[in-house]
C-alpha cells in the first residue's frame, strides 16, 4: 500500500517535471530569436550614442576585441568585449568596458569611448546602484554631467587634474555626492591610460593602420552578458 | 467555499482580503519596485499573469494530484509560469525586463501565488479559480501601482515618467509634471519611503473600513428600537 503510493507519487512528480520543463523549453525556443534581437538592439543603442552612425561604417557589434579581466586598469572581473568603430577599414574609436569598483554602493559599470588620438568620445553609465537623486546623476537620463568628459584626453587636463573639483581637479562633483563622480572620473582616466598603453592592440599598428586589422576579431561578440548593456 | 460567488471573489481580491495591504503578502517586490508607476505596472502585470496561469493550471490538475505531492507540484507549476513570463517579457518589453531585473524571477517566491494555489485553486473548479487569480492579481497590482504613483509623485513631483518602456514610443510624452521645480524628496523613493507609504495605505484602508462599519452599525441599530424582545441565546446571523 505504502509502496504503491510512493510509486504513484513519484511518477506523478516526474510527469509534472517533464511537462513543466517542456513548457519552459517551448517558450524559450519561441522567444529565443526575439530576445537575441532585443539584446543586440539595446547594446547597439548604447554604442551608437558614443560613436554615432555617421562616424563609422562598420558594424561595431561584430567588430570586437577582448578586454581581459585582471589588473589592466579597466577593473574587469571577467573578460568583456571592446567594440571597434572603423571608417574605411581604419579603427577610429574603440568602446571600452570599464568598472569603477569604488562607487558609493558597489560597482559602477561604464563604457568609455576613446578616439584614436586619445580623446574621449563619450562615457555612459550602464549599470549602477548609486543613491537616487544624489549619485545617480552620473546617468545621462538624470543629468548631462557625463558629457563633460567629451573631448578630454590625458593631456587635457593633465593627469593630476583628472579629479573632481574638491580634489583640485577640473570635473564638477554633485551637491551631496562626491564619491560617485570621483569613482567615475578615476575610471574614465584609467580607461584612457589603458587605451594609451594598448594603442597598437586597439587601433592596429599606427604606421600601417590596415595590416593589423585582420586578426582583430579574435573572439566573437557572444560573450557579452547582461553586463555589456 | 465552492459556492463563492464572483462578487465575493472580486470583493475579496480587491478589498476585503487584498493580498498586499490585508494579507501583507509579497511585500518584498511590493516595496522594492514601487519607486515609479511604470515599474509597478510592469510587475503588477507580470504577477497577475503568473497568478492567472498558476491558478488555472492548479485547478485543472487538482483531482489528479495527491495531497502528499501537492506542494512540490504547485511549486513546479508556478516556477514554470514565472520562467515563461520572464522569457516573454524579455522578448517584448526588454527595457522593462532590465529594470525589474531580479524581481521578475522572484515572483516565484511571492507568497500570494502559492497561497492562492493552495487555499483556493486546488479546491475550486476552473472558472472560479481563474477569476480568483485575476482578482487577487488585480488587487495586488492596484496597490503596487498606487504605491508607485504616490512615491513617484512625492519623490519627483511628476507622474508616469518613462511609460514608453511599457507602452512603446506612443507613451513617450505621457509624463505629467504636476509640480514644477520640485525639490526631489529622496525619502519617498528610497526603501524607507516604501514602508511609510505602505503603512499609510493600510491605515487609509482601515479608516475606510471603520467608517463603513460604523455606518452599518448605525443602520442596523434602527429597526431594533421598536422591538423590546431581543434574542440573546444562540447564534445571531
Number of domains composing chain A: 1
Q: Is B73 on the interface with A (CB under 8 A)?
A: yes
Q: Is B209 on the interface with A (CB under 8 A)?
A: no
> Mean pLDDT lowest for which of A5-14, A97-106, A207-216, B190-199?
A207-216
In a domain, A65, yes or no: yes
Distance from CA of A35 to the nearest CA of B (A): 4
Instruction: Find the DSSP H helices in chain B.
Output: 6-11, 27-32, 37-60, 70-92, 94-100, 111-119, 126-156, 164-167, 186-189, 191-224
A154 burial (CB, 10 Å; 0-12 / 13-18 / 19+) is middle
Residue among B65, B90, B186 minimizing CB distance to A132? B186
Per-residue pLDDT of B164-202, as tens digits, reads 767 766 666 777 777 777 777 778 878 888 888 889 988
Average pLDDT over every residue of B146-156: 86
- Rounded to a whole number of angstroms, the CA Rg of chain A reads 23
> Mean pLDDT lowest for which of A10-19, B1-10, B98-107, B143-152?
B1-10
Question: Per-residue pLDDT for A228 more than 80?
Answer: no
Strand duo A120-127 + B158-159: pairing: unpaired
ipTM of the complex: 0.70
pLDDT at A17: 92
C-alpha grid cell, residue B222: 434602527
Task: Tell me which chain B residues have a C-beta less than 8 angstroms from the C-beta of A229.
Answer: 98
Residue among B35, B69, B184 minimizing CB distance to A9? B69
Per-residue pLDDT of A85-115, as tens digits, reads 888 888 888 888 899 888 888 888 888 999 8
pTM for the whole structure:
0.70
Question: Per-residue pLDDT for B4 more than 70?
Answer: no
pLDDT at A213: 40
Q: Is B35 on the interface with A (CB under 8 A)?
A: yes
Give the residue numbers in A contacting B (CB under 8 Å), as ranges.
5, 8-9, 12-13, 16-17, 20-21, 23-24, 27-28, 31, 34-35, 38-39, 41-42, 131-134, 226, 229
For chains A and B, count residue pairs whose Cβ atoms are closer than 8 Å: 66
In a domain, A80, yes or no: yes
CB contact under 8 A, B69 and A229: no
DSSP letter, residue A193: H
Q: Is B184 on the interface with A (CB under 8 A)?
A: yes
Residue B30 and residue B146 in contact, taking contact as beta carbons nearer than 8 Å: no
Q: Which residue of A has its CA nearest to B189?
A: A132
In a domain, A5, yes or no: no
Residue among B65, B84, B189 minimizing CB distance to A24? B84
Beta bridge mates, A84:
A94
pLDDT at A19: 92
A contact test, residue of B87, B95, B188, B191 with most A CBs within 10 A: B87
Per-residue pLDDT of A23-61, as tens digits, reads 999 999 999 999 888 888 877 787 888 888 777 888 777
Average pLDDT over every residue of A149-170: 85
Instruction: Give the H or E element holding residue A14.
Output: helix A2-50
Average pLDDT over every residue of A164-185: 86
Residue A127 and residue A227 in contact, taking contact as beta carbons nearer than 8 Å: yes
The residue range of the domain holding A185 is 51-203
Task: Tell me which chain A residues have a C-beta less than 8 angstroms from the C-beta of B35.
Answer: 132
Residue A226 and residue B100 in contact, taking contact as beta carbons nearer than 8 Å: no
pLDDT at A81: 83
pLDDT at B222: 64
Amino acid at each position: 500500500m505504502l509502496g504503491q503510493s510512493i510509486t504513484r507519487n513519484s511518477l506523478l512528480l516526474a510527469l509534472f517535471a517533464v511537462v513543466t520543463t517542456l513548457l519552459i523549453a517551448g517558450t524559450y525556443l519561441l522567444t529565443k530569436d526575439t530576445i537575441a534581437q532585443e539584446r543586440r538592439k539595446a547594446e547597439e543603442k548604447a554604442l551608437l550614442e558614443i560613436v554615432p552612425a555617421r562616424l563609422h561604417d562598420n558594424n561595431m557589434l561584430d567588430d570586437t576585441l577582448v578586454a581581459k579581466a585582471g589588473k589592466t586598469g579597466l577593473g574587469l572581473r571577467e573578460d568583456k568585449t571592446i567594440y571597434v568603430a572603423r571608417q574605411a577599414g581604419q579603427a577610429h574609436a574603440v568602446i571600452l568596458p570599464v568598472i569603477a569598483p569604488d562607487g558609493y554602493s558597489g560597482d559602477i559599470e561604464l563604457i568609455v569611448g576613446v578616439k584614436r588620438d586619445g580623446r574621449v568620445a563619450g562615457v555612459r553609465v550602464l549599470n549602477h546602484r548609486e543613491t537616487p537623486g544624489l549619485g545617480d546623476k552620473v546617468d545621462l537620463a538624470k543629468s548631462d554631467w557625463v558629457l563633460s568628459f567629451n573631448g578630454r584626453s590625458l593631456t587635457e587636463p593633465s593627469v593630476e587634474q583628472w579629479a573632481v573639483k574638491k580634489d583640485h581637479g577640473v570635473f564638477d562633483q554633485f551637491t551631496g555626492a562626491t564619491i560617485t563622480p570621483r569613482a567615475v572620473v578615476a575610471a574614465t582616466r584609467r580607461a584612457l591610460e589603458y587605451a594609451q598603453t594598448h594603442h597598437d592592440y586597439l587601433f592596429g599598428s599606427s604606421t600601417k593602420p590596415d595590416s593589423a586589422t585582420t586578426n582583430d576579431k579574435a573572439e566573437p561578440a557572444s560573450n557579452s552578458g547582461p553586463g555589456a548593456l | 467555499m465552492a459556492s463563492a460567488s464572483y462578487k465575493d471573489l472580486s470583493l475579496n481580491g480587491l478589498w476585503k482580503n487584498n493580498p498586499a495591504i490585508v494579507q501583507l503578502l509579497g511585500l518584498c517586490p511590493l516595496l522594492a519596485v514601487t519607486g515609479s508607476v511604470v515599474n509597478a505596472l510592469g510587475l503588477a502585470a507580470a504577477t497577475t499573469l503568473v497568478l492567472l496561469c498558476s491558478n488555472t493550471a492548479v485547478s485543472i490538475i487538482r483531482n489528479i494530484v495527491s495531497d502528499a505531492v501537492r506542494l512540490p507540484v504547485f511549486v513546479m507549476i508556478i516556477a514554470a509560469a514565472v520562467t515563461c513570463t520572464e522569457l516573454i517579457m524579455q522578448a517584448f518589453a526588454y527595457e522593462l525586463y532590465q529594470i525589474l531585473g531580479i524581481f521578475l524571477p522572484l515572483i516565484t517566491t511571492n507568497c500570494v501565488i502559492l497561497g492562492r494555489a493552495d487555499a483556493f485553486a486546488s479546491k475550486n473548479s476552473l472558472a472560479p479559480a481563474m477569476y480568483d487569480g485575476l482578482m487577487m492579481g488585480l488587487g495586488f497590482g492596484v496597490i503596487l501601482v498606487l504605491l508607485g504613483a504616490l512615491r513617484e509623485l512625492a519623490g519627483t513631483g511628476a507622474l508616469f515618467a518613462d511609460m514608453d518602456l511599457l507602452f512603446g514610443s506612443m507613451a513617450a510624452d505621457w509624463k505629467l509634471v504636476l509640480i514644477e521645480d520640485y525639490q526631489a524628496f529622496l525619502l519617498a523613493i528610497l526603501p524607507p519611503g516604501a514602508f511609510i507609504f505602505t503603512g499609510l495605505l493600510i491605515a487609509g484602508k482601515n479608516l475606510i473600513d471603520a467608517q463603513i462599519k460604523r455606518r452599518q452599525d448605525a443602520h442596523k441599530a434602527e429597526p431594533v428600537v421598536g422591538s423590546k424582545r431581543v434574542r440573546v441565546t444562540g447564534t445571531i446571523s
